[in-house]
Amino acid sequence: MSQILIIYTGGTIGMMSDPKTKVLRPINFEQIMENVPELEKLNCKIMVHSFEQIIDSSNMNPEIWSELAHLIKDNYDHVDGFVILHGSDTMAFTASALSFMLENLAKPVIFTGSQLPISAIRTDAKENLMTSIEIAKAKKHERSRVPEVCIYFDYKLFRGNRAFKYNSSKFEAFRSPNYPILAESGVHLKFSINDIRQPIDAPFTVHRDLVSDVAVLKLYPGISPKVVETILNADVRGIVMETFGAGNTTTDKWFTDLLKNAINSGKVILDISQCKVGTVELGRYETSKELKDMGVANGYDMTYEAAITKMMYLLGQYREPLMIKELLETDLRGELTVS
């Protein structure tokens, strides 16, 4: 019989509306179980770890990511898979972070939650929870079908570091436009075998050191030198720069000089596109050729969430900016497609 560990961090899935105030308040996992009696019909043993302090996902941070990674490490040899109940607002950040922290993962780590509380009549929580457990315990030839960090929501399984939340009012809360879904739930669970990463023959390793000294420079027409200079001169080691289209920026000399000065001072600058679909192509246009020449890292088709957490992960592992830049441009966990 498969053994699945459910880690309950919080989120809408574990909320209940107060009859008087109508305000949503957290409930404990036993109350969640009471709302899903169907769990007893699953052919698996379910263990539960509930955070003592239930967390609104807006309060998620690297320290909690480290705690999650530690929990997975401690239980890795004793269970067949993990289901993490998490608020949807920052779920893609946490899933992306753990994808980098869990190296050579060979078991499923499935994040899920809901848009409505589990006690609501039309809730999406029951299906999300039930199917996440089904996926976490799914095996073929004694090997996990999806040995990845994933997000399951609204009948679709996404690679965790490829998804982002795009809608706060539909059950279809997540999308992954730059990478196919890994599985789809219908009458049967249909796995996209060719799109699922397979583990290599190497020891499972957990990296818990993250450095959150990361700033974000989001460009817009008319951005002032004062704003850019303030961000680039911040006391951080890494900067994620959200650019236009295929990675383009203004070519004004004041702007490129500020970027060069930041890189020369030891900062790592990663270029990702503000577009949700497509990839950064440094050097394709004149407006991005100078970025490539000065040493700006190419983020290709990484999501914003993956870019931020990958930067944190690499800053925690390495000091040398050139090494960090090289690894930012390298596909480590399926988070980018090198064009």
List residues with catalytic annotation: 12
Question: Which ranges of the chain does DSSP label H, i.e. alpha helix?
Answer: 29-35, 62-75, 91-101, 125-137, 225-232, 253-264, 286-294, 304-317, 321-328
Could you tell me which residues are beta bridge partners of residue 270? 240, 297
Dihedral of CA atoms 147, 81, 159, 71 in degrees, nearest 10, equals -110
Assign 62 to helix, strand or coil: helix
CA distance readout (Å), 93 to 163, 223, 227, 229, 281: 9, 27, 26, 27, 24
Tell me how far apart the alpha carbons of residues 79 and 295 are, in angstroms, rounded to a whole number. Answer: 44
Tell me how far apart the alpha carbons of residues 319 and 302 are, in angstroms, rounded to a whole number. Answer: 22
Cβ neighbours around 335 below 10 Å, total:
26
Q: What are phi and psi of 96, to 5 degrees?
A: -65, -45
Handedness of CA 52, 170, 58, 165 (dihedral sign): positive
